[in-house]
């Protein structure tokens, strides 16, 4: 919510607020992560996607004389990529889909702002953004249910 408000005043302030929000998501997902090779394999497509989008964004920022935005944008991309990876590592479907939708939303937003216009970007950004927030919040409820199930299961053993 703060990111939405700050981004109207300053892109960097909004980006910083969203970055802090993603750090909180990241920390929560790390605590719930359950590593396995299949989930860890998500690192490769996330890294490739981030590299492709990041390279295009950095080129566009530098071409337009926005060199001062390169470090904040790269930092944000790193954090949101790690947030998506840790969401996948939780094995929670809602967290996984929500984090991927967040990456898509931010990709559309940044591409539209710095690289090229995207038709219907406002609708695409907001539907993926609010869907992402809803699914990530829903993942908390499903995690609580899973934890209660696991506790009950261990008590019955």
CA–CA distance, 74 with 80 (Å, rounded to integer): 10
Q: Rounded to an integer, what is the distance from CA 65 to the centroid of its chain?
A: 27
- How many domains, the chain? 1
Are the beta carbons of 101 and 135 closer than 8 angstroms?
Answer: yes
Dump pLDDT digits (tens) for 4-36: 777 778 878 888 888 888 898 888 888 888 878
pTM of the model: 0.83
> What's the rounded mean pLDDT across residues 81-108?
95
Please, what is the average pLDDT of the chain? Answer: 87
For residue 77, the enclosing domain spans 2-156
């Amino acid at each position: 919510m703060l990111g939405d408000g700050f981004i109207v005043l300053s892109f960097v302030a909004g980006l910083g607020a969203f970055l802090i929000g993603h750090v909180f998501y990241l920390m929560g997902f790390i605590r719930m992560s359950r590593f396995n090779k299949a989930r860890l394999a998500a690192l490769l497509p996330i890294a490739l996607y981030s590299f492709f989008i990041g390279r295009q964004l950095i080129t566009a920022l530098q071409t337009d004389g926005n060199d001062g935005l390169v470090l904040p944008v790269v930092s944000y991309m790193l954090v949101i990529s790690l947030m998506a990876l840790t969401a996948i590592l939780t094995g929670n479907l809602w967290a996984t889909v929500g984090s991927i939708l967040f990456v898509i939303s931010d990709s559309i937003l940044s591409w539209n702002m710095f690289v090229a216009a995207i038709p219907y970007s406002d609708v695409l950004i907001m539907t993926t953004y609010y869907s992402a927030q809803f699914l990530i919040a829903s993942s908390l409820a499903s995690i609580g249910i899973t934890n209660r199930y696991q506790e009950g299961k261990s008590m019955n053993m």
